[in-house]
C-alpha cells in the first residue's frame, strides 16, 4: 500500500501555544487529504477534508480558525492547532487519497498531542 | 439511526476459531465499502475492499448485502496476531467517508 508519513509522532505543549503537524504522501500524489481526531475508545472523527490548492472543508463543530489546514502541494498537508488547550489533547491522524475512491485512504501513523 | 453501526465487542475467541463481524449502514446510496484494521494506539490500515460479489483474501472474507444494508467480515483460523479493532468504512459517492466505531477482537491462546 501507499506510504504516508506524519510528523511529529508525539508532542507535548503548554496551553496557549500552537502546534503544527505535517502529513506527507511519500509515493503517490494525494489529491485529497483528510484530518481525523480520535479520542480514547472512540471512533475516528473526520475534522476536515482538504484538496490541493483549495480551502479545506471543515466538518460541523470543527473551528476552522483554531484548526488551520494548508494543502500546498500534492504531497504535503499541514494541520496547525492554534492556542491549544487541554481538551485538544487527542490522537490526530491524517490520511491521503488519490481521489479515485475516497473510501480507500492511506493513513499516517498519527500524532499524539498532549496539552498541559 | 447512526450512519454506520458496529458492535464494539470485545469478541474473545480462541486461536483457530472462526469469527464474523457485521456492520450496518443507513445510507442506501453508499457505493464503496471497506474494512480497516487498527491496532491499539496505531493508525488504521486498509484490510480489504468489499465488492458486491464478495471478496476473499486468504483467511479473510468480506461480503456485502445491499438489501439488508450490511457488510460482514469473516476471519477463519484466527491467529493471535489478528487481535485488533476492525473498522467498517462506508463511502457514498462524492460524500464524506464514515467510519464505524470498530469491533474489538481478542484472540486467546
- Tell whether the model's pLDDT for residue A9 goes beyond 70: yes
Q: Which of A77, A49, A81, A55 is nearest to A67 (CA)?
A: A81
> Residue A50's closest chain B neighbor by CA?
B96
How far is it, in rounded angstroms, from Cα B101 to Cα B109? 26
Kindly state whether A29 is in contact with chain B, defined as any CB-CB distance less than 8 angstroms: no
How far is it, in rounded angstroms, from Cα A59 to Cα B88? 20
Residues of B in contact with A39 (CB under 8 A): none
How far is it, in rounded angstroms, from Cα B7 to Cα B11? 9
- Confidence band, pLDDT 50/70/90 cuts, at residue B95: low
Q: What cell was used for A17?
A: 501555544
Q: Which of B73, B68, B109, B64 is nearest to B91 (CA)?
A: B64
Residues of B in contact with A43 (CB under 8 A): 87, 99-102
Which pLDDT value is given to residue A73? 87
Q: How far is CA B5 from the centre of its chain?
A: 11
Question: Hey, are the CB atoms on A101 and B41 less than 8 Å from each other?
Answer: no
- Give the highest mean pLDDT range of A30-44, A100-114, B53-67: B53-67
B16, HSE (Cβ side, Cα atoms, 13 Å): 1
Q: What is the residue-averaged pLDDT of chain B?
A: 90
Give the start-end residues of each E strand in B26-82.
Answer: 30-38, 44-50, 55-57, 60-65, 70-75
* Nearest CB to B43; choose among A42, A43, A93: A93
- Confidence band, pLDDT 50/70/90 cuts, at residue A8: very high
Q: What is the pLDDT of residues B28-74, one digit of tens each?
A: 888 788 999 999 888 888 899 888 888 999 999 999 999 999 999 99
Residues of B in contact with A109 (CB under 8 A): 42-43
- Tell whether the model's pLDDT for residue A100 goes beyond 70: no
Which pLDDT value is given to residue B51? 80
**8 A C-beta contact, residue A75 and residue A30:** yes
By three-state DSSP, how is residue B91 classified?
strand
Flag the least confident range among A1-15, A59-73, B70-84, B87-101: B87-101
Q: What cell was used for A79?
A: 494541520
Q: Are strands A45-51 and A32-38 parallel, antiparallel or unpaired?
A: antiparallel
Which pLDDT value is given to residue B41? 81
Q: A34, A37, A102, A103: best mutation site toward chain B, by most B Cβ within 10 Å?
A: A103
Residues of A in contact with B43 (CB under 8 A): 93, 107-110
Q: What is the pLDDT of residues A44-86, one digit of tens each?
A: 889 999 888 788 999 999 999 999 999 888 899 999 999 999 9
Amino acid at each position: 500500500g501507499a506510504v504516508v508519513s506524519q510528523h511529529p509522532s508525539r508532542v507535548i505543549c503548554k496551553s496557549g501555544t500552537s502546534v503544527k503537524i505535517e502529513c506527507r504522501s511519500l509515493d503517490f500524489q494525494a489529491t485529497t487529504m483528510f484530518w481525523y481526531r480520535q479520542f480514547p475508545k472512540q471512533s475516528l472523527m473526520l475534522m476536515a477534508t482538504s484538496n490541493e490548492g483549495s480551502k479545506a472543508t471543515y466538518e460541523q463543530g470543527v473551528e476552522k480558525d483554531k484548526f488551520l489546514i494548508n494543502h500546498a502541494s500534492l504531497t504535503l498537508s499541514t494541520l496547525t492547532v492554534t492556542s491549544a488547550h487541554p481538551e485538544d489533547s487527542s490522537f490526530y491522524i491524517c490520511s491521503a487519497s488519490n481521489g479515485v475512491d475516497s473510501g480507500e485512504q492511506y493513513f499516517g501513523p498519527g500524532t499524539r498531542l498532549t496539552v498541559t | 439511526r447512526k450512519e454506520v453501526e458496529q458492535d464494539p465487542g470485545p469478541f474473545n475467541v480462541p486461536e483457530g476459531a472462526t469469527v464474523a463481524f457485521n456492520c450496518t449502514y443507513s445510507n442506501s446510496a453508499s457505493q464503496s465499502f471497506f474494512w480497516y484494521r487498527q491496532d491499539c494506539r496505531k493508525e488504521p490500515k486498509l484490510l480489504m475492499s468489499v465488492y458486491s460479489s464478495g471478496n476473499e483474501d486468504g483467511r479473510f472474507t468480506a461480503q456485502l448485502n445491499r438489501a439488508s444494508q450490511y457488510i460482514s467480515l469473516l476471519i477463519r483460523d484466527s491467529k493471535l496476531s489478528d487481535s485488533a479493532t476492525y473498522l467498517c468504512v462506508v463511502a457514498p459517492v462524492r460524500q464524506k467517508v464514515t467510519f464505524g466505531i470498530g469491533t474489538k477482537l481478542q484472540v486467546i491462546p
